[in-house]
């Protein structure tokens, strides 16, 4: 059966992640830190604090990505006794979210999906992703964010919400994303088949398995073409 709908992650899938921005922010923390440390130490600590907050952010306890970023970076600045303004240095990350670089295969891929329902589902704040999509002229049926449903992938709520809104069943959908945890794990939690988009040639983690692994969106289009030709089924 040919899928009716394509679910797509956004950052790391259609546009670049903020991987280049994080070390720049950590370097600014190090420059005023009284505690001896390396940039990598700051990055690791920030990620650990952020991840803990992120995992506990859903429902009534939900916090936006901007809130989580500020809170976790503030704690990191305090940990290393740095003298810097969290609002000032994290703005680089916020700016990136609104104007990220786009992958060169993104627009051709989206244009090739004529006739499919296309939904972007992203662990990001609503205003930021809409600015980024507008900036690059990305048009899909709907963009649904973690902020909309008060839940982050890999929890299944965002997937289930889009299925419900558009009267889709899980076996009518293919989800594509670069995060093994959030996208592959989240899709599997919702009973949706997944494509792990491994643009950076990462080693495949242990645990839940994607249905397909592709290095770019051109390879994903080949998978979809096989559905259309009846060579594979959802």
The pLDDT tens digits of the residues spanning 51-76 come to 999 999 999 999 999 999 999 999 99
29, 88 contact by CB (below 8 A) = no
CATH assignment, 5-16+100-228:
3.40.50.1000
pLDDT level of residue 234 (50, 70, 90 thresholds): low
Peptide bond into 54 cis (omega under 30): no
- Could you say which DSSP state residue 172 is in? G
Give residue limits of the domains in the chain.
Answer: 5-16+100-228, 21-98
* Average pLDDT, rounded, for the chain: 96
Flag whether the pTM goes above 0.85.
yes
The pLDDT tens digits of the residues spanning 98-132 come to 999 999 999 999 999 999 999 999 999 999 999 99
* Residues of the chain by 3-state class (helix, strand, coil), percent to 5: 50, 15, 40
What is the percentage of the chain residues whose pLDDT exceeds 90?
Answer: 94
**More confident position, 232 or 221:** 221
**26 CB-side CA count, 13 A:** 17
């Amino acid at each position: 059966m040919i899928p009716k709908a394509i679910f797509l992650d956004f950052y790391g899938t259609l546009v670049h992640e903020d991987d280049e921005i994080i070390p720049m922010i950590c370097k600014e923390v190090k420059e005023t830190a009284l505690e001896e440390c390396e940039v990598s130490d700051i990055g690791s600590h920030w990620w650990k604090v952020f991840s803990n907050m992120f995992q506990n952010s859903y429902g009534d306890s939900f916090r936006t990505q901007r809130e989580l970023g500020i809170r976790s970076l503030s704690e990191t600045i305090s940990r290393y006794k740095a003298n810097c303004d969290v609002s000032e240095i994290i703005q680089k990350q916020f700016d990136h979210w609104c104007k990220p670089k786009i992958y060169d295969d993104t627009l051709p891929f989206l244009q090739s999906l004529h006739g499919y329902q296309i939904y972007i589902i992203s662990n990001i704040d609503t205003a930021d992703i809409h600015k980024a999509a507008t900036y690059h002229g990305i048009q899909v049926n709907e963009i649904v964010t973690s902020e909309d449903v008060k839940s982050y992938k890999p929890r299944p709520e965002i997937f289930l919400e889009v299925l419900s809104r558009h009267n889709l069943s899980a076996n009518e959908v293919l989800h594509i994303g670069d995060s093994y945890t959030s996208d592959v794990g989240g899709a599997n939690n919702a009973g949706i088949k997944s494509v792990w988009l491994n643009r950076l040639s990462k080693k495949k983690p242990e645990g839940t398995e994607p249905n397909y692994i592709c290095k770019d969106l051109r390879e994903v289009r080949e998978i979809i073409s096989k559905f259309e030709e009846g060579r594979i089924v959802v």
